[in-house]
């Protein structure tokens, strides 16, 4: 049911998206601020894409202005001070930490006003090794040199967690080098592999796979279960086979979910319109960027925060199941 309604929404918006806004529509345009992290963050590019799509889908009724911010943590810190028509990128794990007053957040009741709208493609962790490295699983990395990613990055944090669960964190030589140089280090056989996080397919990984036979490592289900239990900011994730050259089997890994949030102070009408417009444009977005294919009705649950009533109204109409804790 949900898929049928979303497809009809996409078709229903096609004509509207092809028309330029009328003068009257421009005069009634609602300005929406989008706080999307730093310009080099994957979520910033995604925010630009969905913002342009929503503006087209609403025939100019909404104008979304994507602004650089200091990242997810700062987006949440700023949320209580935003004007009502502000949306921002975040993850449920960060929002939860803010509500608990965990560092770097201070206890502030206003964090309870944060509401979810719709999901973004998750930042999926890829563990890539050369096929001739002799490494078939993460456990095989003992004695090898590996690039976990930039300091403080998702890939570095999750890689360390995985190695600790496996009990081999002291046996792997983790190399701290410029992230931009890591792919060349793999292709020139200076390191056995690297970790990278992003919305799949990640173009740089596809480039490596075309130049050098690689293997993307899966995690055993027991390891994933332990990692998710210890870190509520990550979720299990599957990279489908054929996502990259020579990937002939699904890869089981983990990801940091991402989404678009606002506060309860946004009007129900605006939250409904923005959410409906987003889902109506999901197919065109996926045609331009395959990363959007990972966003399905099931991904709504990864938002993990109470939905804005306007967004909840849309999901009920679309027949998308919403966990009771998010209603």
> Mean per-residue pLDDT for 311-324?
97
- In this predicted structure, the answer to whether residue 11 has a pLDDT above a threshold of 50 is no
Q: Residue range 297-306: average pLDDT?
A: 95
For residue 13, which phi and psi values (nearest 5 degrees)? -90, -10
Q: Which two tokens stand for residue 77?
A: 């810190």
Is the Cα torsion angle 255, 260, 264, 270 positive or negative in sign?
negative
pTM for the whole structure? 0.83
Q: Which domains does the chain have, with CATH numbers?
A: 2-120+258-326 (3.40.190.10), 123-256 (3.40.190.10)
Residue 48 in tokens: 């630009």
Closest residue by Cα to residue 141 from 179, 214, 177, 191: 191
Q: What is the DSSP letter of 241?
A: T
Give per-residue pLDDT as tens, 187-198: 999 999 999 998
Which structure tokens are listed for 218?
């899966």
Task: pLDDT band for 6, please (50, 70, 90 cuts).
Answer: low
């Amino acid at each position: 049911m949900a898929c049928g309604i979303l497809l009809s929404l996409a078709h229903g918006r096609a004509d509207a998206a092809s028309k330029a806004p009328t003068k009257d529509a421009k005069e009634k345009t609602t300005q929406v601020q989008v706080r999307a992290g730093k310009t080099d963050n994957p979520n910033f590019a995604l925010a630009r894409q969905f913002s342009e799509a929503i503006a087209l889908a609403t025939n100019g009724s909404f104008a979304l202005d994507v602004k650089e911010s200091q990242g997810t943590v700062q987006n949440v810190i700023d949320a209580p001070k935003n004007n009502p028509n502000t949306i921002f990128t975040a993850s449920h794990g960060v929002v939860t930490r803010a509500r608990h007053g965990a560092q770097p957040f201070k206890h502030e009741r206003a964090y309870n006003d944060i509401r979810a709208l719709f999901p973004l493609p998750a930042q999926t962790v890829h563990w890539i090794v050369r096929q001739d490295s002799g490494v078939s699983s993460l456990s095989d990395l003992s004695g090898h040199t590996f690039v976990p990613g930039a300091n403080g990055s998702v890939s570095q944090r999750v890689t360390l967690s995985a190695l600790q669960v496996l009990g081999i964190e002291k046996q792997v030589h983790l190399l701290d080098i410029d992230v931009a140089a890591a792919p060349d280090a793999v292709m020139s056989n200076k390191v056995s592999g690297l970790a990278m996080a992003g919305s799949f397919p990640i173009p740089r990984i596809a480039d490596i796979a075309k130049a050098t036979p690689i293997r993307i490592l899966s995690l055993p289900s027991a390891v994933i279960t332990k990692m998710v239990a210890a870190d509520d900011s990550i979720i299990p994730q599957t990279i489908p086979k054929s996502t990259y050259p020579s990937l002939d089997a699904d890869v089981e890994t983990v990801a940091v979910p991402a989404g678009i949030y606002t506060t309860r102070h946004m009007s129900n009408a605006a939250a409904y319109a923005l959410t409906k417009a987003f889902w109506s444009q999901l197919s065109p977005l996926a045609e331009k960027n395959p990363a959007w294919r990972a966003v399905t009705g099931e991904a709504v649950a990864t938002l993990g925060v109470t939905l804005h009533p306007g967004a909840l109204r849309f999901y009920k109409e679309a027949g998308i199941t919403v966990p009771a804790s998010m209603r």
